[in-house]
Amino acid sequence: MTRLVTLVAAALAAAPLYAQTPVKIGFMAEMSGPQGALGQDQYDAFMMVVERNGGKLGGVPVEIIKEDSQLKPDVATQIVQKFIERDKVSIITGISFSNVMMAVHKPITEKEVFLIGSNAGPAPIAGAQCSPYQFIVSWQNDTQAEVVGQYATDKGYKRVVGMAPNYQAGKDFIAGFKRYYKGEIIDEIYTPLNQPDFSAELAEVAAKKPDAVYVFYPGGLGVNFIRQYQQAGLLGKIPLLATSTTDGLTLPAQKEAALGVISGTFWGPDFANPASKRFLEEFEKKYNRIPSQYAAQSYDAAQLLDSALAKVKGNVADKKALMAALKQADFKSVRGAFKFNNNHFPIQDMYVFEVAKDAKGRVSLKTIGTALKNHEDAYHTQCPLK
Amino acid sequence: MTLGLFFTQLLNGVQLGVLLFLLSAGLTLVFGIMNFVNLTHGSLYMMGAYFAAAAYNWSGSFLIAGLIGVPATVLLGLVVERVALSTLYTRDHLDQVLATFGLILFFDEVVRIIWGPSAVYMNVPDALSGTVALFGLAYPSYRFAIIGVGLAVGVGLYLLIHRTRVGMLIRAGASNPAMVSALGVNVKLLNALVFGLGAGLAGLAGLMAGPIFSVQPGMGEPILILTLVVIVTGGIGSIRGAFYGALIVGIVDTVGRVFLPTLLRAFFERSIAQAAGPAIASMLIYLLMAAVLALRPQGLFPVKHG
């Protein structure tokens, strides 16, 4: 296992007068394997804020301990145990995948350690299993599909085919899409999770001649799907609506094959607000690539911690005060307005994007509308928190 | 279901089969002639795709990607054979599996370090980016190109194995390696040749797969499993077996995937059919393999001895 301890607080050794025990933060994400790019974007954006502030968040020195959960819930559980018992962290952030989140959510929040999630937002923790120690900076999973469903309704599509891998998340996203789509789903096609070729399904879709196709194919599957959709001559003929299929991580491999695909989420690289512009500029300069939405989420997680630690002056032992400070979310989010709901998930605008070339001619995401304003997830009423 | 759609799906099955053939031909040769279980074959396919994608991104030409990617994979295969695998020929199969499995992990990590964890860009050549109208439905031209390349390789291999001196030695090696070596044939060289040929075919498969599948770490493993199913079904060591086996597996897999959910819908509720259809369809080829193993353990088209 790779274990990298970044002791950024060392920079402060020159000023022993102000020496203060650094606040320990555990960062855990998927850093290896095909999904490693997601965790890497989360980590890079988080560390960008820490480094910009000279190894501090909220004016207090921080020590970030990085671990790779390898997309294995059992490994993640062990890491969390180590974080809490040996490293004595008071805050854990990152968490890329929902299955990992479900495994570590209880062990973390039960020990009254703050969980600042910057990606996964499965339904159970937004509803009945919510905890006051969780603060999810990204989104509840379903909302990324709901916004696309709303778009399909707004466009007046009557007949839509849904396609996703045959596992829990695939079904969740199709369900989320249907929650806001008022037309008819003429077919739902679920493909085995390890199936790389969609030629047979695409031939079927083409024969059905739907008004639009809605898909959820994350990571490498999305690269396969988009290329094959374009090669089959369907791109531009049948509108393609997608969740997590054309994002900052897959577009560099899809390029022109994805032009015109519609997707929906909370932020895009063309946002004009000052916080987003600064983030984009600094990220591109430092890492020489367009940041993905996952980087934006983690950047906001770091900013949230920055604001809250400043409010409590680094005193993480006062959990009540820190919880209140986090709940206020007093920071300039890259998405514009940001507010926590009763279940500590964001209430936020959800936007629709089209894959298009940016000013520099690179294939990126272009905002084409706000389908859902001040959107709350469907589960917050089941969460007992006030 | 129209007749046109049925033929399109059949064509999809043939195309998948042909791609599997490119991979299984190499694997079955190495397995049959050198009696060597080479799990690295999937990694060679991945390396072929990466070499081709790198050459494609550098030159912008699919042709150059092929001219660089395939020989580079052959070269890599020969180096791997000499450095790591040649000492394992006399060991038993478990040692070979362990060593070549280790190489899979090694190559996955190498590409991750060099090219990063995300998928790498590669596209079809411009001339083949369109579609061809077929039975009233559009079919991607590039998929026709895959079928063409696969059939050409099939014919080429047939001529090589049955019409040349090298092919005669390969056939002899498959039947009785001890006798071939006793007759003074340089078996070491023959092994390297067979391994290089297998690597070249894997590289060619990687090149052809690059524009339709995402080129990313670990891309070789799922297809390696299919390839193993093909050679077990077709008969280990037999090129003919690899060819027919690949076509059968490709067609069964594709046709099953499409028709089973529709078929189940006639008997069950829609939601059950939607969930169970793909699950059962993905089992079909393994059921086929199990049936073949039970009834004809030597495979459907085994090597003819004597």
E strand residue ranges, chain A: 3-6, 23-29, 56-57, 60-68, 91-94, 114-117, 134-136, 159-165, 184-191, 212-216, 240-243, 262-265, 339-340, 346-357, 363-375
Is there a domain that residue B177 lies in?
yes
DSSP result, A132-186: TTEEESS--TTHHHHHHHHHHHHHT--EEEEEEESSHHHHHHHHHHHHH--SEEE
Which is the CATH superfamily of the domain at A3-139+272-340?
A: Response regulator (3.40.50.2300)
E strand residue ranges, chain B: 131-134, 137-140
Q: Across the A/B interface, how many CB contacts are shorter than 8 Å? A: 125
- Whether residue A171 has pLDDT greater than 60: yes
Selected residues 197-226 of chain B with any CB under 8 Å from a CB in chain A: 211-219, 222-223
Both structure tokens of A117? 């999630």
**Interface check B12 vs A, CB under 8 A:** yes
User: pLDDT by residue (tens digit) across A240-288?
Assistant: 999 999 999 999 989 999 999 999 999 999 999 999 999 999 999 999 9
What's the gap in Å between the CA of A203 and the closest CA on chain B?
A: 7
Task: Report yes or no: A130 and A358 within 8 Å, Cβ to Cβ.
Answer: no
**Interface check A194 vs B, CB under 8 A:** yes
User: Using the beta-carbon criterion (under 8 Å), do B118 and A256 form an inter-chain contact?
Assistant: no
**Is-same-fold flag (A3-139+272-340; A143-265+350-380)?**
yes
User: Using the beta-carbon criterion (under 8 Å), do B12 and A231 form an inter-chain contact?
Assistant: no
CATH number of the domain where residue B42 is located: 1.10.3470
- Whether residue A5 has pLDDT greater than 50: no
pTM: 0.85
Q: For residue B305, what pLDDT is reported?
A: 56
Share of chain A above pLDDT 70, in %: 95
Residue at token pair 């007046």: A156
User: Using the beta-carbon criterion (under 8 Å), do A206 and B278 form an inter-chain contact?
Assistant: no
DSSP result, A101-126: HHHHHHHHHHTT-EEEESS---HHHH
User: Using the beta-carbon criterion (under 8 Å), do B15 and A199 form an inter-chain contact?
Assistant: yes
Q: For residue A182, what pLDDT is reported?
A: 95
Residue B138 phi, psi (nearest 5): -85, 135
User: Using the beta-carbon criterion (under 8 Å), do A233 and B116 form an inter-chain contact?
Assistant: no
Is there a domain that residue B50 lies in?
yes
Please state, in angstroms and as integers, the Cα–Cα distance from residue B53 to each residue in A188, A231, B46, B184, following that order.
34, 18, 10, 42
**Interface check A288 vs B, CB under 8 A:** no
**Interface check B136 vs A, CB under 8 A:** no
- B129 contacts in chain A (CB < 8 Å): 231
Report which residue type is found at B239: I
- Whether residue A169 has pLDDT greater than 90: no
DSSP result, A324-340: HHHHHT-S-BTTB--EE
Report which residue type is found at A23: V
User: pLDDT by residue (tens digit) across A90-149?
Assistant: 999 999 999 999 999 999 999 999 999 999 999 999 999 999 999 999 999 999 999 999
Q: For residue A70, what pLDDT is reported?
A: 87
Residue B229 phi, psi (nearest 5): -60, -45
Q: For residue A8, what pLDDT is reported?
A: 45
Q: Domain range for residue B157?
A: 12-125+132-295
**Interface check B49 vs A, CB under 8 A:** no
Residues of chain B scoring pLDDT < 70: 1, 304-306
Round to whole Å and give the CA distance between B227 and B218: 15
Q: Where are the domains of chain A?
A: 3-139+272-340, 143-265+350-380
- Whether residue A10 has pLDDT greater than 70: no
Provide CB contacts within 8 A for B135, sequence distance 6+.
B2, B3, B4, B5, B7, B8
Q: For residue B1, what pLDDT is reported?
A: 60
Report which residue type is found at A73: P
Q: For residue B179, what pLDDT is reported?
A: 86
Is there a domain that residue B5 lies in?
no
User: Using the beta-carbon criterion (under 8 Å), do A223 and B254 form an inter-chain contact?
Assistant: no
- Whether residue A14 has pLDDT greater than 80: no
Per the structure, the count of domains in chain B is 1
- Whether residue A17 has pLDDT greater than 70: no
**Interface check B254 vs A, CB under 8 A:** yes
Q: For residue B127, what pLDDT is reported?
A: 87
**Interface check B256 vs A, CB under 8 A:** no
**Interface check B120 vs A, CB under 8 A:** yes
Q: For residue B4, what pLDDT is reported?
A: 82
Give A128's DSSP letter. Answer: T
Could you tell me whether strands A91-94 and A114-117 are parallel, antiparallel, or unpaired per DSSP bridges?
Answer: parallel
Please tell me which of the candidates B2, B131, B254 has its beta carbon nearest to residue A232. B131
Q: For residue A11, what pLDDT is reported?
A: 42
**Interface check A245 vs B, CB under 8 A:** no
Q: Which of the listed CATH numbers 3.40.50.2300, 1.10.10.1100, 3.40.50.150, 3.30.70.120 matches domain A143-265+350-380?
A: 3.40.50.2300
Residue B275 phi, psi (nearest 5): -85, -45
Q: For residue B126, what pLDDT is reported?
A: 86
User: Using the beta-carbon criterion (under 8 Å), do A203 and B261 form an inter-chain contact?
Assistant: no
